[in-house]
Structure 1
Amino acid sequence: MVRLTPAQLWRFVKRFEARVLIGLVLATGALWTFLNLAEEMSEGEIDAVDRRLILMLRNPADPSDPIGSRNVEEAVRDITALGGTALVVVITVVSVLAFLFHKKRIHALVMAGAVLAAWASSDLSKMLYGRPRPDLVPHEAYVYSASFPSGHSTMSTAAFLTLAMLVASLEPRRRSKALAYVLAALVVVGVGFSRVYLGVHWPSDVLGGWCLGALWALVGWIVLRALHAPTRGS
């Protein structure tokens, strides 16, 4: 039986400082929001809002035509690729290797773990809820799985927010930290918007994906803080 001395116990408790407790609250909130959203989706309580929001991004005279020029449509397709499996895998592998090269093993573990957990939970949720894809408008991108939650939104949120958090933990300058988070947020919002614009996801699918991805990014942050990974300016 392992016995902790008072000093060891105090050091353990100090690891779970105020910021970690805040992280736990936020992670719990993300999970709670995801589960409540899934329940409302299953009961059809948000269908009307979903349909209204999708149609807002379409030509009223022709729902098959997204608002904006052809150049806008192509740009949105480029943006949606930022949340695709191939690109997220490449970003994750490169990030993990970079952290390992700089002897940041815990950072590498957190990055890989958050993305893998997001991928597994997204696929499991799709199988569990089995929500059909939007049928109001033609799909402007290839789809092959269930709709809830949005895999692109889940993966991009987990990957880019986790990477921003890890970079910020090593960066001493506040402006650089803020830049990392702003860039990550822009990608996450852009990918989510693109899925609705292209007609391949309901808005609630995207919101669910954001919650699920944010959950794993927050879990990664909590793990990083609890393990006292070497950081600068944090």
Structure 2
Amino acid sequence: MQTNQRFGNIATPATRWFFVAVLLFWAAGLLVMVNYSKGEGFLWMRRVGSPVFDFLFTYLTHVGDGLMAVAICVLWLLQKKWSRAIVLFAAFAVSGILAQLVKHSVEAPRPYVFFENNGQQIDAVEGVKLLSNFKSFPSGHTATAFALATSLVLLMPWWQKRWWLAFIAAVGIGYSRVYLGQHFLQDVLAGSVLGVLSAAAVYLLLRKWNPPFSRHAW
């Protein structure tokens, strides 16, 4: 079976470790969901509040808003790294579109609405406005973060050697959504699944398709 060397090899030790870490993250999340109710798990995950974490997660969460992915795509286009840019943009677009479709189909309440309907209130991190709509599931920020992390690990040798950094950043962004009171753990896990699967699917499809632009440098 021939492989498209221009697209690299998805089965390198580094990428395998990345996906193993992702699977362990999902398993840990499911374990929390089994032992805690939706509301209890949310409150349990927010117990570590501190001024340092408030500052860190308030800014880290913005990496998942899509601007970082777009900025990297633009940088690669300027460097004429066409294939990288197309793979990343496609992964970002697919994960984002799927997340929005599910959000509008499920219409799950945000934590603020969920607890308010149960006669409770949750504390907001200073400077952060709690969203009060019904678009909690899944987390779009987390989907983008994991799509970006997965794409970087699959596309770039530098990130393959530092897969753990991409993984920690993606998990940190996902956790920030709970810490800031915008999502439940279930939303974050679903977003991470969308992000990883979207990026992997786009990568494999383009690798198999072998378009003309793949002749250009990665």
Using structure 2 for the length normalisation, give the TM-score.
Answer: 0.70
Give the deviation of 1:178 after TM superposition: 1.9
In 2 relative to 1, CA 67–120 (structure 1 residues): closer, same or farther, beyond 3 Å?
same
Give the deviation of 1:210 after TM superposition: 0.3
Within the alignment, does 1:49 sit opposite 2:3 as a pair? no
Selected match of 2:88 from 111, 117, 134: 111
Give the count of matched residue pairs.
Answer: 185
Partner residue, 2:119? none
In 2 relative to 1, CA 148–103 (structure 1 residues): closer, same or farther, beyond 3 Å?
same
1:57 counterpart letter in structure 2: M
Map 1:92-171 to 2 at 5 A.
Answer: 92-134=69-111, 135-136=114-115, 137-140=122-125, 141-142=128-129, 143=131, 144=133, 146-168=135-157
Give the deviation of 1:127 after TM superposition: 0.2
Per-residue Cα deviation, 1:119-177 (whole angstroms, up to 9, x for no partner): 11111110011001123324443325510001110111112321332223xx5xxxx52
Larger radius of gyration: 1
Selected match of 1:178 from 154, 157, 161: 161
Within the alignment, does 1:212 sit opposite 2:194 as a pair? yes
CA distance in 2, matches of 1:230, 1:216: 23
Give the deviation of 1:226 after TM superposition: 1.8
Q: Is the 8 A contact 1:82 1:187 kept in 2?
A: no
Per-residue Cα deviation, 1:170-210 (whole angstroms, up to 9, x for no partner): x5xxxx5221x222111110011111122221101000000
Give the deviation of 1:112 after TM superposition: 1.1
In 2 relative to 1, CA 192–55 (structure 1 residues): closer, same or farther, beyond 3 Å?
same
| Seq. identity, % | 27
In 2 relative to 1, CA 67–15 (structure 1 residues): closer, same or farther, beyond 3 Å?
closer
CA distance in 2, matches of 1:47, 1:205: 17
CA distance in 2, matches of 1:95, 1:67: 32
Selected match of 2:184 from 185, 195, 202: 202
Superposition RMSD in Å? 3.4
Q: Which moved more, 1:196-205 or 1:217-226?
A: 217-226
Partner residue, 1:82? 63
2:140 counterpart letter in structure 1: G
Give secondary structure in 2 for the equivalent of 1:71: helix
CA distance in 1, matches of 2:160, 2:215: 16
CA distance in 2, matches of 1:80, 1:108: 23
In 2 relative to 1, CA 151–56 (structure 1 residues): closer, same or farther, beyond 3 Å?
same
Give secondary structure in 2 for the equivalent of 1:14: coil
Q: Is the 8 A contact 1:148 1:208 kept in 2?
A: yes
CA distance in 1, matches of 2:37, 2:4: 40
CA distance in 1, matches of 2:78, 2:94: 23
Using structure 1 for the length normalisation, give the TM-score.
Answer: 0.66
Give secondary structure in 2 for the equivalent of 1:109: helix
In 2 relative to 1, CA 97–77 (structure 1 residues): closer, same or farther, beyond 3 Å?
closer
Where structure 1 has 5 or more consecutive residues not aligned to the other structure, the ranges are 1-12, 38-44, 59-65
In 2 relative to 1, CA 114–215 (structure 1 residues): closer, same or farther, beyond 3 Å?
same
